[in-house]
Amino acid sequence: MALRFRNFLIPSVLLVCFGHYQGMTQEVTYQEQFRPQFHFSPAVNWMNDPNGMVYYDGEYHLFYQHNPEGIQWGHMSWGHAISTDLVHWTHLPLALPETDSTMVFSGSAVVDWQNTSGFSTSEKPPLVAIYTAHYPTQRKQAQYLAYSNDRGRTWIPYENNPVLDIGMADFRDPKVFWYAPEEKWVMVIALSLERKLHFYESKDLKEWDFLSSFGPTGNADGIWECPDLFELDIENESGVSRWVLEVDQGSEAIAGGSGGQYFVGDFDGTTFTPEHSDIRWVDYGKDFYAAVSWSDVPADDGRRIWLGWMNNWLYANDIPTYPWRSAQSIPRTLTLRRIDDELRLVQRPVQELQTLRQDHLRLEDQVLNGIMDLGEAFAGKSMELLVEFEIGDSDEVGLRVHASDDEATIVSLNFLRGTISVNRRESGNIDFHPTFAGHYHGPVLGFKTRVQLHIFVDWSSIEVFAENGTIVFTNQIFPAMESNRLELYAKGGPARLISLDVWKLDSIWE
Ligand code: FRU
């Protein structure tokens, strides 16, 4: 048998590769229980935040917080993978290892098109990574540079590091972008314990000057980490845009534990001014953290694309996967949409994911009353669903994925409460941590009798995009191997299925 791995045909026997795990050689099959089939995960060992997201010369780079020596957080370094299509990933060697005195924490990367840094050694621009060096013994975090002149394959730490050090213990996660109107670099960075973001500017990535401070505001209950700032178009309002400032918080987010919030407003090159005071959550599920967007996506593509760490600091070190821990979410495009005069962040799965679609199944115009098992043809553990329900006389309508007689993950529209929800209380293995089981609710914006959902189900996750991508739920689940039924249901009276489209999804590892 030959398996397809990226664009190559290779015998399946070669696919069983070996990873290094705590001094032992570990067999990696990508068929392990809970192994994501179309989400990025490291072959072995621990991963947290996505880092250094940059597109260059036909390749999307995904660096990530990685422990190369173990399956729990520690020895923080930058792991590395690349993709030409945002779907299939190739693992590359460790990009930035920890040193004797510093761990490599989160940060960003840019293409220095004009060689402002002087790091280029040819006519090609260098890639420059801007990241936090964490000094475990000194209670200090400072900002470092490293650069690459070989398409990100090898990285050289800048000899005069640090480039920004204010003598603070929790000063981290720099996100840098080119601010074209003033021909300068801008950095947004977190003063985590103070729940503040600082903006800095630079002409050469090496010398940074303070611009302004933002926060605490919105939700400041948890520490602030991993900010991002970018301009987005407003859908259906041609030529109109706003700036979005995103910040993650280590605890007390909407679903409990870590999560992200965003502010919509204006950035004038110095100061970010929000145009609202209410709290806006990026995700209503419990597993979407530290999302950051790709830098340097070509202008003729024009998309702002991000992904987030699909985990939560409450239980990240305990999830029952082996020999790796954590996956990244699917990549999503970002826009803004005006709803009841408020600008909301819209997240949509990138269209490239459609290349994974296998068999297509469709069901239309069904009366639902109680639970309806869709049978063998619709059963599956890795699939994309597009579904539209009509409320009818029901109180609640929805679907049950990864279902068996004993367990299911339930996505529901609850018309009495006016919410969309994901319930993983009986989703499978929930016992590894007391905060894992839960039922998460998000608002349905405005009264409707029909609701459409776009859902991605993998072996250990479910992502639900509702309300045109303005209400999103990202959650991990750990179902039994044999829990693969797909069921529809209505409670309290009959509801109607307008339509259901199901695509089984190919694995990116096969
Ligand atoms: C967020 C975070 C960052 C830090 C990194 C360390 O998850 O705490 O603030 O840079 O993880 O691994």
**Least confident piece of the model among 7-21, 76-90, 414-428:** 7-21
Distance 290 CA to ligand 1 centre (A): 8
CB 440 within 8 A of CB 448: no
Which amino acid, one-letter code, is at 321?
T
**The predicted structure's pLDDT at residue 445:** 54
Q: Which residue minimizes the CA distance to atom 7 of ligand 1? A: 49
Q: List, for residues 1-23, the tens digit of each pLDDT value.
A: 233 333 333 333 333 445 554 45
pLDDT above 90 covers a percentage of the chain that reads 91
**The predicted structure's pLDDT at residue 224:** 98
- The larger pLDDT score, comparing residue 7 to residue 136, is at 136
Average confidence (pLDDT) over 220-239: 97
Position 364 pLDDT exceeds 60: yes
Position 182 pLDDT exceeds 80: yes
**The predicted structure's pLDDT at residue 24:** 54
Position 109 pLDDT exceeds 80: yes
**In a mutational test of the pocket of ligand 1, which residue from 64, 103, 168, 172 has the highest number of ligand atoms less than 8 Å from its CB?**
172
Atom of ligand 1 nearest to the CA of 134: 10
State the pTM of this model.
0.95
Which residues have CB under 6 Å of ligand 1? 48-49, 65, 76, 105-106, 132, 172-173, 225-226, 290
Is 49 catalytic? The answer is: yes
CB 306 within 8 A of CB 55: no
Average confidence (pLDDT) over 151-176: 98
Strand 471-476 vs strand 17-21: parallel, antiparallel, or unpaired?
A: unpaired
Closest CA to 231 of 299, 171, 289, 285: 299
**The predicted structure's pLDDT at residue 448:** 76
**The predicted structure's pLDDT at residue 7:** 30
**The predicted structure's pLDDT at residue 449:** 83
**The predicted structure's pLDDT at residue 261:** 98
Atom of ligand 1 nearest to the CA of 309: 7
Position 478 pLDDT exceeds 70: yes
Average confidence (pLDDT) over 411-428: 93
Atom of ligand 1 nearest to the CA of 190: 9
Tokens representing 116 are 């402002």
d(C-alpha 248, C-alpha 313), whole Å: 12
**The predicted structure's pLDDT at residue 416:** 80
Average confidence (pLDDT) over 323-335: 98
- The larger pLDDT score, comparing residue 339 to residue 444, is at 339
Tokens representing 88 are 């299939």
Atom of ligand 1 nearest to the CA of 289: 7
Q: Mean pLDDT for the chain?
A: 94
Residue 27: pLDDT band with limits 50, 70, 90: confident
CA dihedral (369, 373, 377, 383) positive or negative = positive
Q: Which residue minimizes the CA distance to atom 6 of ligand 1? A: 105
Average confidence (pLDDT) over 119-145: 97
Question: Which residues are 273's β-sheet partners?
Answer: 266
**In a mutational test of the pocket of ligand 1, which residue from 49, 78, 193 has the highest number of ligand atoms less than 8 Å from its CB?**
49
pLDDT above 70 covers a percentage of the chain that reads 94
Position 292 pLDDT exceeds 60: yes
Average confidence (pLDDT) over 360-371: 98
Residue 340: pLDDT band with limits 50, 70, 90: confident
d(C-alpha 171, C-alpha 134), whole Å: 9
Query: Between the CA of residue 154 and those of 17, 54, 85, 97, 112, what are the distances in Å?
Result: 23, 15, 22, 11, 16
